């Protein structure tokens, strides 16, 4: 009996890390697909992406709970490299989203979100730990078309976009909270790292699962305009 227990523990010790790695790879793949779709379909203008300090992507965010209206999602963040945050895009870090009800647009379907952090102040707030939109950083529904090309409001830290069933729109996330997903970051990078260390430490390399995302961003927007 003791040998069976030991064997079971050994199997679990091997399987659990592999399962966690699969989860991080899946999240990165889904985030990459969402970002590519919204950008390529012009849901997010490249002119705005070129001005962004950081990008957050939350694929398939769903409302959970009955009568509570709580929405919870897991996604990624990547930021500009360099002391002035105007270089290429950093390795991705795992990030979470937690908010109350954000209206009827969710319904029973899932919604993809992309957030553009437009100011250094906003980037510092996002990377500081747990952030609450509205209280810690100002946010607004992202513009499109001609309005996007002329957008230049230093008072807006974060622009938010959503995609539901192929329809793109600027989105309001109310008082949503975002934070570094440190447990999944550890699984992705093999050691304890928070989001700030990942995106700002030049010694951290892009993991294999995150290369498609980072390469895509560097191709369409390698440096600040």
Residue 76 pairs with which residues in a beta bridge?
Answer: 57, 94
Q: pLDDT of 43-81, one tens digit each?
A: 788 888 889 999 999 998 876 555 555 567 899 999 999
Q: In whole angstroms, give the CA distance from residue 105 to residue 32.
A: 23
Contact criterion met (CB below 8 Å) for 139 and 126: no
Token look-up 């409001």 returns 153
Candidates 144, 132, 134, 160; CA nearest to 54 is: 160
SS3 204: coil
Q: Beta-strand (E) ranges in 87-128?
A: 93-99, 111-117
Neighbours of 96 (CB within 10 A): 17
The predicted pLDDT at position 19 comes to 53
Q: Which pTM does this prediction carry? A: 0.83
Q: ∠ CA(143), CA(147), CA(150), 5° rounding?
A: 115
**Token couple for 213:** 């995302």
Neighbours of 124 (CB within 10 A): 16
Q: In whole angstroms, give the CA distance from residue 209 to residue 52.
A: 23
Cα torsion 70, 74, 80, 82 to 10°: value is 110
The predicted pLDDT at position 9 comes to 52
pLDDT in single tens digits along all 225 residues of the chain:
566 555 555 544 444 444 557 889 999 999 999 999 988 887 788 888 889 999 999 998 876 555 555 567 899 999 999 888 889 999 999 999 887 655 444 445 678 999 999 999 999 999 987 788 878 888 888 887 767 777 888 889 999 888 886 676 767 777 788 899 999 999 999 999 999 999 999 899 999 999 999 999 999 988 776
* Residue 202: burial class (beta carbons within 10 Å; 0-12, 13-18, 19+): exposed
The predicted pLDDT at position 104 comes to 42
The predicted pLDDT at position 8 comes to 52
């Amino acid at each position: 009996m003791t040998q069976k227990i030991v064997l079971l523990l050994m199997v679990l010790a091997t399987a659990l890390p592999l399962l966690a790695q699969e989860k991080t790879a899946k999240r990165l793949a889904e985030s990459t697909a969402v970002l590519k779709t919204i950008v390529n379909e012009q849901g997010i203008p490249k002119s705005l992406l070129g001005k962004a300090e950081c990008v957050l992507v939350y694929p398939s965010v769903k409302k959970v709970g009955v009568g509570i209206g709580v929405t919870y999602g897991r996604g990624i963040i990547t930021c500009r490299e360099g002391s002035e945050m105007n270089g290429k895009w950093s390795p991705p870090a795992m990030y979470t989203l937690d908010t109350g009800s954000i209206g009827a647009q969710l319904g029973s379907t899932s919604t993809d979100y992309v957030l553009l952090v437009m100011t250094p102040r906003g980037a510092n707030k996002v990377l500081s730990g747990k952030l609450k939109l509205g209280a810690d950083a100002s946010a607004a529904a992202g513009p499109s078309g001609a309005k996007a090309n002329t957008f230049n409001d230093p008072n807006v830290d974060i622009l938010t976009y959503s995609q539901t069933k192929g329809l793109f729109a600027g989105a309001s996330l109310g008082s949503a909270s975002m934070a570094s997903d440190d447990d999944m970051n550890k699984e992705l990078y093999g050691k304890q790292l928070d989001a700030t260390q990942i995106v700002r430490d030049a010694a951290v390399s892009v993991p294999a699962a995150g290369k498609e995302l980072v390469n895509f961003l560097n191709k369409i927007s390698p440096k600040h305009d």
